[in-house]
Amino acid sequence: MKTRLILAAFALALAGCKGQGTPEAPAVHAESGLSVVPLTITSQGKVHRFRVELAQTPAQQAQGLMFRTKLGPNEGMLFPMNPPRPAGFWMRNTVIPLDLLFIAPDGTVLNIAANAKPYDETQLQSAGPVKAVLELPGGRAAELGIVAGDVIEW
């Protein structure tokens, strides 16, 4: 009986941690089902911390943040690219404005497409090869003073 109570308490504790993640089992975003990882941007000596969804497969990257109606101020989506290559994004079926930060192979911000307009199909291009693209809520990069040359780590 005591063992059952201990197991039940342990199961409740684990259920309360859902979404938090551990090194063995990363957090999972409730809406997208994607892994959520910590990401930092160092800008002018300040470190800005985010929790971002990781869009790794072609299908996940094609879906991106389409149809999403909200994104918290310290949330985003990261699109890794291996090998690094020039990248182009559009806002088809994307409901919320976004900042797209194109990340150079050395981990610095190469360029930013700020406040991309919802539903706009204009191609937003990297200024060269990138190892990833980070999408943040529209206007967030300017709000935090993030500019080309800042360092992004995940």
- Tens digits of per-residue pLDDT, 29-78? 998 999 999 999 999 999 999 999 999 999 999 999 999 999 999 999 99
DSSP class per residue in the chain: -HHHHHHHHHHHHHHHTTTT--SSS-EE-TTT--EEEEEEEEETTEEEEEEEEE--SHHHHHHTTTT-----TTEEEEEEEEEEE--EE--TT--S-EEEEEEPTTSBEEEEEEEEPTT----EE-SS-EEEEEEEETTHHHHHT--TT-EEE-
| Cβ atoms of 45 and 144 closer than 8 Å | no
Q: What is the mean pLDDT of the chain?
A: 88
Q: Give backbone dihedrals phi and psi of 140, rounded to 5 degrees, phi first.
A: -65, -40
**pTM for the complete prediction?**
0.84
117: confidence class by pLDDT, cuts 50, 70, 90: very high
Q: What pLDDT, on a 0 to 100 scale, did the predictor assign at position 27? A: 93
Mean pLDDT of the region 7-17: 37
Give domain limits for the chain. 27-153
Cα dihedral 37, 42, 43, 46 sign: positive
| 56: Cβ contacts below 8 Å, ≥ 6 apart | 35, 80
Q: Comparing 2-16, 87-101, 108-122, 136-150, which segment has the lowest mean pLDDT?
A: 2-16
Average pLDDT over residues 133-141: 98
Q: CATH topology for 27-153?
A: Jelly Rolls (2.60.120)
The amino acid that residue 75 corresponds to is: E
